[in-house]
Structure 1
């Protein structure tokens, strides 16, 4: 079959009767659907089909689901397994916004978080917002970085996503508008091949309130995606990009599979693929991996 529609729900959230319901929604539109292929019983299923564009099939499936907590991804069957992953860190690979949490040690979390919110929604320029937030932290003891790190948590499914893809030969890159101080640690923890981010400056004891130039921003993420593809002799179609904020939109739009993950409204509205209900293992199911193939 030329295309595949993947339905993904929290474990146990996909009833065995659901594929037939979706099949019945696609058939009147001219789709020829094959038998369902369960990637994980009660959790993820592939519905191969012909005769309908992926966007049309996805829209019809969402309508049939009537608001159910199920993620829907329709795409070409060819080239599903990607050879490059490029992922945002804050609120994507980790559950928190590390800069906001760092600001808590200066008593500025709410003020900094509001600037972060506006930046991630695309309301203000990312680089300007980053410099403004970092300047507010001038004089903060560097020990606050370690204290912040203690509370960092990987997003459910993050390690499975990265380690499964690397075990299958993919290059996994962490690309963050945050700081290398955190990305280096997260990269080692989750199993990323490389990491790319901003450098937060200090004098050995306290933060200087500055970040090294040039700022690693939206354009830098896209440039990193393209550079890695060139270095690895891949096409953009071979890549998967995932993020939640406005500074991720360029790389999400350029990648072969670009995913808005529990994203801000501006990102969810613009991305071709959305994951709204499930964890990061959804990106493995989207590539056709079976749960039995996941690397813990």
Structure 2
């Protein structure tokens, strides 16, 4: 028998606010959420290491590898020596915005919300997405580069070197505090298990074409269509 697909949009319980304008901040994961690819997997594909890297990525997103930092270090080690030129090719040839991303972010801005991109991915791609979508804030990881090639490491930043699920949670709550808003006034959108820490803290958690574990916990799950389908939740 063929399994019945989930509905296009699932809503569980009562939302804290019924109008988009009553929220003040919307936070997005990047890979497979704001963009259609997992950047690290595409880098690995270009360099002939996709099977090894993608297997670790998938296990981490499903929650089978509980230590996201260690999973990322393993994947980065496999990419040691990759030229920056290859990473530029991924950005130019493979990175595509998720359908509906710009529509949703434009609507959020029009309603008075600030937009945060918080990613376990890389600023190399996140800064590009920020510019394309007019995003207000970004937190992501930075490749360590030497002589035009990846070293396999990441650059230490003021908050640490790897943005994992816990760092996503801290970033969202910290920004909400600086804005003077309650966590209930925040929307968090993601697809993988490392998005759950921030999704559990906010007023409205949204799973976008997500892993089953994430979909099960989210207040809203978008299973079909683009990100702009979130606007259908609000009258």
- Same-fold call, TM > 0.5? yes
Q: Distance in 1 between matches of 2:195 and 2:234?
A: 20
Aligned residues: 223
- Equivalent residue, structure 2, for 1:147: 89
Q: 2:75 aligns with which of 93, 112, 133?
A: 133
**Structure 1: which 4+ aligned runs deviate by more than 6 Å?**
none
Cα drift, residue 224 of structure 1: 0.8
The 8 Å contact of residues 143 and 154 in structure 2, kept in 1 or not, is answered as: yes
Q: Which runs of 5+ in 1 are unaligned?
A: 1-65, 289-296
Structure 1 pair 198/68, CA: closer, same or farther in 2 (3 Å)?
closer
The 8 Å contact of residues 240 and 257 in structure 1, kept in 2 or not, is answered as: yes
Equivalent residue runs for 1:138-287 within 5 Å: 138-150=80-92, 151-213=94-156, 214=160, 215-287=162-234
> Structure 1 residue 120 and structure 2 residue 67: aligned?
no
Q: Which SS does the other structure have where 2:129 is aligned?
A: helix
Q: Distance in 2 between matches of 1:255 and 1:237?
A: 5
TM-score by length of 2: 0.90
Deviates further, 163-172 or 126-135 = 163-172
Cα drift, residue 168 of structure 1: 2.3
Q: Distance in 2 between matches of 1:83 and 1:165?
A: 9
TM-score by length of 1: 0.72
Q: Which runs of 5+ in 2 are unaligned?
A: none
Q: Distance in 2 between matches of 1:137 and 1:238?
A: 39
- Equivalent residue, structure 2, for 1:80: 19
Q: Which SS does the other structure have where 2:19 is aligned?
A: coil
Cα drift, residue 287 of structure 1: 3.2
Offset from partner CA, 1:232-259 (integer Å, 9 cap, x none):
1111111100000000001111111101
The 8 Å contact of residues 15 and 204 in structure 2, kept in 1 or not, is answered as: no
Cα drift, residue 77 of structure 1: 7.0
Q: Distance in 2 between matches of 1:112 and 1:87?
A: 23
Structure 1 pair 111/169, CA: closer, same or farther in 2 (3 Å)?
same
Cα drift, residue 109 of structure 1: 0.8
The 8 Å contact of residues 79 and 238 in structure 1, kept in 2 or not, is answered as: no
Cα drift, residue 282 of structure 1: 1.7
Cα drift, residue 105 of structure 1: 2.2
Q: Distance in 2 between matches of 1:77 and 1:207?
A: 44
Cα drift, residue 79 of structure 1: 5.2
- Equivalent residue, structure 2, for 1:70: 8
The 8 Å contact of residues 179 and 198 in structure 1, kept in 2 or not, is answered as: yes
The 8 Å contact of residues 6 and 223 in structure 2, kept in 1 or not, is answered as: no
Q: Distance in 1 between matches of 2:61 and 2:46?
A: 22
Q: Distance in 2 between matches of 1:232 and 1:190?
A: 21
CA root-mean-square deviation: 1.6
Bigger relative contact order (CA 8 A; separation at least 6)? 2
Cα drift, residue 283 of structure 1: 1.7
Q: Which structure has the larger Rg? A: 1
